Chain A
Amino acid sequence: MADRYLILEDGSVFKGKAFGSRATTFGEVVFTTVMTGYQQVITNQIYHNQIIVFSEPTIGAVGIDRASYESVDPTCKGVIVRDVAAVSINRRRRLSLDEYLKRQNIPGISGIDTRALIKKLRSTGTIKGSIIDPVKDLEHAFDQLRAIVLTNQQVNQVSTPKAFPNPGNGKNVVVVDLGLKYGILRQLSQRDCNVTVLGYSATADSIFSLDPDGVIISTGPGNPRDLPPEVIEMIQIVERNIPLFAIGLGHEAFAIANGCEIMELSSEHHGSNHPILSVITDEIMYASHGQGFTVDPNSVDRNDLIVTHYDLIDHSVQGLRHRDFPAFSVQFFPDSSPGPTEATELFDEFMEMMTRGGR
């Protein structure tokens, strides 16, 4: 295996071995503590422009599974890990992680002291990094890294350009794609929903013309403040008329649409180890998180919104619900791919909300 370097904006250099593509890559370096489901993480479009560090030391043993994609064309910029394993035999027909990343032109680097790296990221917060071939002139590489400006038009780059259906026989649901995670579609399929996925620029009128029973605003990458104002306006109209469920970036957009401010987290939070309190039932649950931004709790207008979920560790707002309309949102990923299954119940809640038929 060839040598590769991981360099960070703050001047640090980590030496490791190549896997996946051999391209040079730039991105924000973020870490995740999920222990299973690396494929779901790597193919999640929220990682657009980002290089993912896994705290789990060994990934790759279950290969790439045809049923576990969260997107067809993953847009993350790299994978950093301690050790990559070969695919085990009962997953025989599967592609290996190495081969998959090669095909997707995503570079990986293994043999990294990921614990040391994560402890560094914990204190620096999210910083830029680059995976490169070993070079003599590291200064030049650092100059290039510092000069790189990552796009803020991420949703535009990952959202579907054309509407597409995901047919079923039950409730009629429109999913607005801000960087869709297929787990959401899987949950709707399991509930036999007839789904139409629209691009992020869908207007309220185009949604209404499909006569949906409910609307889902999907997860997606990047800073919610960079979303086009039309998305926010669309939410403001739709929430008054049709049951609405917003997730991840969609949740942040829903919050903005209802007057909340968004804050940047000092360090991005990816993992499923934080307890989440469901306020109404006073119960604890777990779900995958993947967030760099959060709703400022002081900005929530309690006359319009109810905070339904909190992270009990960092006290971040994890769920909102409108007082006057059947509309709710969660910051975490309720679709359990990867991660704990208890929050999939929120899709049942959404189904029952649609059954009631709104106002």
Chain B
Amino acid sequence: MARSRAKNILIIGAGPTQIGRDTESEAAAVQIIKNFAETDRNLFYVTSDANSVIPRLDVDVKFIEAELTVNSLIQILRENEIDVILPVAGNTVALQLSEQLNESGILKELNVRTLGVTTTTIHNINNPELMNRVLKHIKEPTIPTTVVENVTDALRFAKRVGFPVLIKPIASLTKTNRIKCDNEHQLMEMLESAFKVSITNQVAVEKSVVGYKEIEMIVIRDAEGSKLLINGGENFNPIGVHSGDSIIFSPTQTLTDVEFQSLRTAALKIAEILKIKGVCHVQFALDPTDGKHFITRINPFFDRSSAFAARATGYPIANVVAKILMGQNLREIKLSGVQRHDSLALIEPVMDHIAVRFPTWSFASFKNANQQLNTRMKSTGSVMAFGRSAEEALQKAIRSVDSTTAAEQAALDESQLSEAQLINVLIHPRAGEVYYLLEAIRRGYTVDELAKMTHIDAFYFYKLRHLVKLEQRLRDNRFDMAALQEAKYFGFGDTQIAHLWQVRSDEVRDFRIKKAHVFATYKGVEPTAGEFPYLTNTYYSTFEDEDEAVRTTGKKILVLGTANSQVGTNSAAEYTTFQTIQRCQKLGYKVILINNNPNALTLIPDLADKIYLEPLTVENCLNIIHQEKPDKIIAQGKWEIVTQLVLRNVQVEQLPVSRTTRSENIEADYMGVISSINGSINLFGVVGIDEDNMFIPIEVSEALKVKVDPLIKNANQHITNNGIYSVIIKENMHQLQIVSVVPLAVQDLPFLSFAFDQDFAGIITEITLNGSSKIENHPIIQGDYRYSHVYPYTQFGLKKPQNPPFSLAIGAEFQSIK
């Protein structure tokens, strides 16, 4: 059946960042939009994320800020005569909305289609029972589950599928969780209370896969059914710990070929039966004793796993998928980096490095939160690292963790732990588990003991034990060249070595470079493992023979990236870096970026000219500066590193944005945003501040203007440097007065950029690099919205306080004030 060609395409975003959702969806959306912009389709992007970069892209896309609800979407569909909705760049939010839209009948009524994933598939994904039916149809095992009305049936079932089992009362009078029963006795005990709370006297019993290996597979399929595996990832923790809170290794480290191929085949079969056009992430539980698997999750959209897969392999997943969505097939799509005439995107990625994703936490800021790891995700960000051995990749990941989280770790002095505390962590994993595991090895726990207690594969303990041995060798052999060389080869940082030698890190660096002649070498990240000549712009460091990185020519700038998402600056920091990179390029710089957040917007291909996917540490910065000899270095925040670099005579331009958020306690009524350049002040506009200390863009009335203007002129006395400032104004008895004038805060920057239709981050970048920037005023973007912070209290199981500090916000969203 021939369909009319889609004209108006609506991309549904994922909303604000929060736990479990970093900027990966938007990163995918940006790439899709850039690809589609080359066609004649009209693009629309809807989100409630106030930190979205989409409004500031240089391509034709209509940005719609709206609440992500069915009703608001229906209105958008009607108003914009949408033909097609694209739900794959908006995580589960977009998928669920699409399901609701479909159920509401509006898609049929308006003849709107979905792209990338069919409404039937969306329906199946949203209904576990239907999904099980589909899996049975393709002869894929499903987790055995049943509903029983008496103890005998429950016991019979449990014996058949094997303990442990999970039970949950059906139609429960009280809120109940699934309870794990390890044996017959426990099951009988738990059933008794479960039957009591069930109105229908029924209990669901399910085989438990807790303790199984958790594996993820990422596949791509096109419209004609060609499909390939991108990569597999293996969780360090077995099932029981949320995959987002586990360290993940890619490629898989402990699977046999038979196991690996059975998962690959299953993932491809699922993409086929669900008729996926694009990317699909399939999550598996793998029984470590017999290699049998169950499917635990199917994500037919861009998520953190596909983002990690793209970074880990160097395969440009989002660009390829964008072309598939535009109607091309895999055999027509070129793999852009391969330096030969035939370079199909059908080349299955292979890896000659190991990539690790590592969770980062914010428990220092949420002291009351329970740090125990379970099936609810608690990490607020992640980092990734590459190495040529599992040890090296893991060491680099540990060092990738930003300084605030590292401080958290430093506060944990493992050697002070009592044996009982340590054992408790071994059995009940908690945030920062790997540090405890290392301590356990130092205390003489054997690999077998640890593997038994934690259900983590012994492979990893051999690797950790190797690290502890290297640590000991370093301790015993201060300033020993061979020990140093081996330690560097397996990923030890200069600072770690300095700590073990009890010297300053500069002494280690001097010794390493001048005496031992041990230097970092850089390897390209590309998906053919060296089989083909490949042009890549992404590199990682190791300590081997060949160095592949070639010094960038021309005018170049090194940008210190945002690293892992943190509460406070959150995705606003990534927004700012994104804009900084774009402005630097407009100013004629080639941008060299150091960053290590797998979900980062700034790591998409085709943005930075060169990427060092490396831990943001002083050592790495110095190595890269030595390698690249940049004309300028620019940073936003990252004070600890910048201070260290400055101490070593490296000049770093710091973006004049405030990391400290507006003081929430100051009662204020208005905030003006001004630029001050060489003594001349320009007012971009004024926002009203409501009772929650949040902004509402307002049109400045003549009356208000008359009052504000003289105040703004006075603002100059508070300002010494060129830049963008917020002027906080209080109204007292109809008199306006300035409360404070401070550099624009990172958190406020994206929203204000949107409201005033300005590229504040770009302007600030240009002022930083060139001393000034051309300023133009634009009309304020009016609307019935404000911006509000998003906090992770619920995920931590905490009650949200009355006025939580902005520094704990994990995202920001547009809110309707109608």
* A→B interface (CB under 8 Å): 14, 31, 33-37, 39-40, 55-58, 61-62, 65, 67-68, 82-83, 85-86, 88-90, 111, 113-116, 118-119, 122, 271-275, 277, 283-284, 286, 312-315, 336-342
Contact = CB atoms under 8 A, between A and B. Distances in A.
Given A89-B451, A275-B344, A275-B347, 13 more contacts: A33-B350, A55-B352, A55-B529, A58-B253, A61-B254, A115-B353, A115-B546, A275-B348, A312-B342, A312-B346, A314-B342, A336-B261, A337-B258
Contact of B344 (A62, A114, A312): A312
B225 A85 contact: no
Interface in B438-482: 447-448, 451, 457-459, 462-463
A341 B256 CA distance: 14
Nearest to B352: A55
Nearest to A315: B342
B484 to A, nearest CB: 16
Interface in B206-261: 225-228, 251-258, 260-261
Given A273-B348, A273-B349, A273-B531, A61 B253 contact: yes
A342 B269 CA distance: 11
A90 B348 contact: no
B448 A89 contact: yes
Given A37-B257, A286-B228, A341-B261, A122 B352 contact: no
19 contacts: A31-B530, A35-B251, A36-B251, A36-B256, A37-B256, A65-B256, A67-B258, A68-B256, A86-B459, A90-B288, A90-B457, A113-B546, A115-B352, A118-B529, A118-B530, A273-B348, A284-B226, A313-B343, A341-B262
Interface of B: 225-228, 251-258, 260-262, 264-265, 268, 288-289, 330-331, 342-344, 346-354, 388-390, 447-448, 451, 457-459, 462-463, 489, 523, 528-533, 544-546
A31 to B, nearest CB: 8
> What are the 8 A-B residue pairs with the smallest beta carbon separation, nearest first?
A37-B257, A89-B458, A116-B546, A275-B346, A338-B257, A88-B459, A55-B529, A118-B530
Nearest to B460: A88
A272 B260 CA distance: 13
Contacts of B289: 90
B689 to A, nearest CB: 55
A286 B348 contact: yes
Given A55-B352, A85-B459, A115 B529 contact: yes
A57 B225 contact: no
B377 to A, nearest CB: 27
Contacts of A277: 331
A272 B288 CA distance: 25
Contacts of A36: 251-252, 255-257, 260-261
A340 to B, nearest CB: 6
Contact of A272 (B348, B448, B451, B528): B348
Nearest to B290: A90
A71 to B, nearest CB: 16
Contacts of B390: 58, 83, 85
Contacts of B228: 275, 284, 286
Contact of B257 (A57, A58, A337): A337
B470 to A, nearest CB: 14
A98 to B, nearest CB: 13
Nearest to B264: A340
A115 B459 CA distance: 23
Nearest to B268: A342
Nearest to A111: B489
Contacts of A275: 226, 228, 331, 344, 346-348
A277 B254 CA distance: 31
A57 B389 contact: yes
B254 A88 contact: yes
Centre residue among A90, A314, A336 by max chain B CB count within 10 A: A90
Contacts of B530: 31, 55, 115, 118-119, 122
A58 B457 contact: no
Contact of B352 (A56, A61, A62, A274): A56
A100 to B, nearest CB: 15
Given A33-B529, A273-B531, A40 B331 contact: no
**A36, A111, A271 pick with most chain B CB within 10 angstroms:** A36
B519 to A, nearest CB: 14
Nearest to A114: B352
A337 B261 CA distance: 9
Contacts of B448: 89
A88 B457 contact: yes
A286 B530 CA distance: 19
Contacts of A313: 342-344, 347
B462 A35 contact: no
Contacts of B265: 340-342
A65 B291 CA distance: 13
Nearest to B490: A83
A96 to B, nearest CB: 11
Contact of B350 (A55, A283, A284): A55
B348 A57 contact: no
Contacts of A283: 225-226
A156 B205 CA distance: 60
Contacts of A56: 251, 350-352, 529
Nearest to A89: B458
A341 B264 CA distance: 9
A334 to B, nearest CB: 13
Contacts of B225: 283
Given A56-B351, A57-B388, A58-B354, A89 B330 contact: no
Contacts of A116: 544-546
Interface centre among B258, B347, B533, B546 (most CB of A within 10 A): B258
A119 B226 CA distance: 30
Contacts of B347: 273-275, 313
Nearest to B545: A113
A14 B254 CA distance: 28
A37 B261 CA distance: 10
Nearest to B258: A68
B462 A40 contact: no
B546 A339 contact: no
B354 to A, nearest CB: 6
A62 B260 CA distance: 12
A62 B255 contact: yes
A121 to B, nearest CB: 9
A22 to B, nearest CB: 21
Nearest to B532: A122
A273 B544 contact: no
Contacts of B546: 113, 115-116, 119
A40 B289 CA distance: 21
Contacts of A315: 342
A62 B261 CA distance: 15
B350 A113 contact: no
A337 B648 CA distance: 55
A284 B253 contact: no
Contacts of B532: 122
A116 B528 CA distance: 13
Given A57-B389, A58-B354, A313-B342, A118 B531 contact: yes
Nearest to A67: B258
A262 B257 CA distance: 31
A337 B489 CA distance: 33
A337 B458 CA distance: 25
Contacts of A339: 257, 261
Contacts of A40: 257
Nearest to A15: B545
A62 B531 contact: no
Contacts of B523: 115
Contacts of B353: 57, 115
A338 B259 CA distance: 11
Contact of A61 (B227, B344, B459): B459
A17 to B, nearest CB: 11
Contacts of B348: 272-275, 286
- Between B457, B489, B529, the greatest number of chain A beta carbons within 10 A of the residue's beta carbon is seen for B529
